C-alpha cells in the first residue's frame, strides 16, 4: 500500500510537470505568434479632425479607424501612429522615419513626383466664418479683398493664391490676404479671435468645426472649389508596402467597413472616373 501511494504521488507530480511544460509551450507558441507581427510606422499630422487627431493622447479619426480595420483583417502588422507637423511628413517618409503617410493628404501632381499615393476618399473645400459675421462667401470669387486663414504648407495656401491671382487681381479686384497657421484648430481660433475673416479648409474638417462649436461658426460656401482625392503616401520603390496597403483597402471595401466609416463622416469613396480625372 505504501509503495502504491508513492507511485501515485509520483504519477501526480509527473502529470503536473507535463501540464506545466505544456502550458509553457503554449504560452511560448502564443508569444512567438504575437511577436511575428511587424510594426508599421504611420506618419500623420494629428491635428485635423475628423480625419486624424489625438483624444486623451490616443489616435482617433477616419484614418485611424480605416487603418485599424486594415490591420485587423491583415493580421501581420501593428500600426504605430507618429504625430508630427505637416511639413515633416514627406521628408520623414523619404528618410524612412515613416513607412506610410496616413494624414488625409491631398493627391497633387507635385506630390506624385516625390512619393506614390493610393487614393481612398474624395472631398472639396468649405468656407467657415464666425456665427455673427456679416460675410456670406459662397465661392472663390467672394474671397477677393478678404483676409483668409488656412494651414501652413498645404495645398490650401496654393489654391488661395491661385484664386487671388486669376479671379481677383486679373479681374481688377483686390488680392486675397493669406494668413497661415500650423494647424486647422489654430486657424479656427484665429477666425474666432477676428484675426482672419474666413477659414479655407477641407469640407469634412469645417463640418466637424460646426459640430463642435455650434453657433459660434457657420459654413457659407455652396460653390465647387477644387474637388480632390485624399491619398495614402508610400515611399517610391517600396512595392511591398504599397501592395500591403492596397490589399488592405481592398479587403475592407469587400467587408463593407470602408464604406461605413466614410459615410459616418460625410465622405465619399472616389469612383474610377474620379481617380482617372483627378490623379494626373
Q: Cβ neighbours of residue 29 under 8 Å, at least 6 residues apart?
A: none
Residue 203 vs residues 31, 117, 198, 214: alpha-carbon distances, Å? 45, 21, 14, 16
pLDDT score recorded for residue 153: 86
pLDDT score recorded for residue 265: 86
Specify the residue for cell string 487681381.
169
**102 and 177, same structural domain?**
no
17 domain-assigned: no
**210 and 195, same structural domain?**
yes
**237 and 210, same structural domain?**
no
Q: Note down the domain range covering 185.
A: 125-219
Please tell me the distance from the alpha carbon of residue 71 to that of residue 245, in angstroms, as a whole number. Answer: 9
DSSP run (H or E) holding 77: strand 77-83
Give the three cell numbers for residue 115: 512619393
- pLDDT digit string (tens) for 155-210? 999 999 999 999 999 999 999 999 999 999 999 999 999 999 999 999 999 999 99
**150 and 73, same structural domain?**
no
- The total domain count for the chain is 2
pLDDT score recorded for residue 35: 57
**214 and 143, same structural domain?**
yes
Amino acid at each position: 500500500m505504501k509503495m502504491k501511494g508513492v507511485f501515485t504521488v509520483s504519477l501526480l507530480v509527473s502529470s503536473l510537470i507535463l501540464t506545466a511544460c505544456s502550458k509553457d509551450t503554449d504560452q511560448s507558441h502564443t508569444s512567438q505568434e504575437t511577436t511575428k507581427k511587424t510594426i508599421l510606422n504611420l506618419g500623420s499630422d494629428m491635428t485635423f479632425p475628423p480625419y486624424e487627431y489625438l483624444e486623451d493622447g490616443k489616435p482617433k479619426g477616419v484614418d485611424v479607424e480605416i487603418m485599424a480595420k486594415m490591420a485587423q483583417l491583415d493580421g501581420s502588422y501593428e500600426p504605430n501612429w507618429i504625430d508630427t507637423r505637416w511639413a515633416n511628413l514627406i521628408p520623414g517618409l523619404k528618410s524612412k522615419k515613416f513607412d506610410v503617410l496616413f494624414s488625409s493628404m491631398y493627391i497633387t501632381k507635385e506630390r506624385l513626383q516625390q512619393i506614390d499615393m493610393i487614393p481612398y476618399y474624395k472631398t472639396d473645400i468649405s468656407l467657415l466664418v464666425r456665427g455673427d459675421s456679416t460675410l456670406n462667401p459662397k465661392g472663390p470669387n467672394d474671397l477677393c479683398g478678404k483676409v483668409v486663414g488656412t494651414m501652413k504648407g498645404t495645398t490650401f495656401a496654393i489654391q488661395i493664391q491661385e484664386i487671388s491671382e486669376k479671379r481677383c487681381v486679373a479681374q481688377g479686384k483686390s488680392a486675397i490676404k493669406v494668413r497661415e497657421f500650423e494647424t486647422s484648430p489654430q486657424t479656427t481660433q484665429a477666425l474666432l479671435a477676428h484675426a482672419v475673416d474666413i477659414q479655407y479648409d477641407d469640407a469634412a474638417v469645417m463640418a466637424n468645426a460646426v459640430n463642435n462649436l455650434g453657433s459660434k461658426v457657420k459654413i457659407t460656401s455652396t460653390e465647387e472649389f477644387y474637388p480632390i482625392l485624399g491619398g495614402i503616401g508610400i515611399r517610391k520603390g517600396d512595392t511591398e508596402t504599397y501592395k500591403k496597403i492596397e490589399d488592405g483597402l481592398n479587403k475592407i471595401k469587400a467587408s463593407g467597413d470602408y464604406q461605413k466609416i466614410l459615410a459616418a463622416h460625410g465622405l465619399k469613396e472616389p469612383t474610377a472616373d474620379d481617380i482617372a480625372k483627378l490623379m494626373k
